[in-house]
Amino acid sequence: MNDEAHPRTDAAALAPTETLARLARANVLVVGDAMLDRYIHGRAERLSPEAPVPVLAIEREVALPGGAANVVRNLTALGAAAAFVSVVGDDQTGSDLTGLIGGQPGVEPWLLVQGGRTTTRKTRFLAEGRHLLRADREQTDPIEPRLAERLLRIAQDAMAVTSLTVLSDYGKGVLSGGLSRQLIQKAHELGRKIVVDPSNGDCARFAGADLILPTAGELAQATGMAVGDDDEIAAAAASLMARHRFGAVMALRGTAGISLFGPGDPLHVRLPHGVPLDLFGVTDAVLAILAAALAVGLALPAAGQLAGASARLVATRIGAVVPTPADLLATLAEDASAP
């Protein structure tokens, strides 16, 4: 990131409205696995006579960009600009996904097409907002080597005109092999920060990243350490940073919330107790707001506070929620007024 253009700003230095307005000036590159999320909504009021399963009376269907493309969707909801580099197949799902991504304001899409590849599609069946079933169609083997070389060239060019790079790895083959290491090296050569959402405990592939967001399970897998409470999470995060030269670690702890470790004091953000929680989309929302905040020069603790507000907002709403500045402003106001 160009710190000269975006000097780091403390959380207390800006009012919430000014902070959120500043996020709209972010310009972020996202590289990762794109997929299509389909939602089939309806009501389930009886069981099938053919098998003991509910019958869903379909009322509506929705298709949205998913995976790394959902990170882009979250960025544009903040008013930020995003360049997006990914790979789709030459199938109908890839065509539909390309249209959805290209139709978003503020997005510069670079969706490379691999012939014969299956574009990932996740279909969720919901009854009155509650999940009944998810059906996936996907291909997870690495993208073709020549396509990976082309993707790397495009991403390197895009880094030069953006402030920060996000690697959103869903394990679908885009960020395979040595591509992640090459992207991180190039980002650092250009003076850009890089934020990573890994797909599993193999965090070594992202060594040197400025910020990585493993789940608690991925953190345990990567370090072989317990992660049951705040102290154990802190010890595991410290070990991960030392092993792989990460600047900071944000552990995504499911219903327990999020914990941020790096320069300064740890930050723990708890999710509400006693209310239904839907964790779908929390990671992408948190990743997007961290990227936007760091891209415009907010200090890491300030970015973490915004990410915490985003996590609470998304987790307490049902469905594919994408926070807007107005949503976040209301959440921050609620936090400020809480006893």
Catalytic residues: 284
Residues 298, 8 contacting (CB under 8 angstroms): yes
Residues 283, 307 contacting (CB under 8 angstroms): no
User: In angstroms, what CA-CA distances link 69 with 55, 169, 247, 288?
Assistant: 31, 11, 25, 11
Residues 84, 162 contacting (CB under 8 angstroms): no
User: CA-CA distance, 268 to 263, in Å (whole number)?
Assistant: 14
User: CA-CA distance, 40 to 38, in Å (whole number)?
Assistant: 7
Residues facing 61 on adjacent strands: 40
Containing 282, the helix (H) or strand (E) segment is helix 282-295
Helix boundaries (H) for 78-197: 92-102, 145-159, 179-189
- Contact residues for 283 (Cβ-Cβ < 8 A; gap 6+): 197, 213, 215, 252
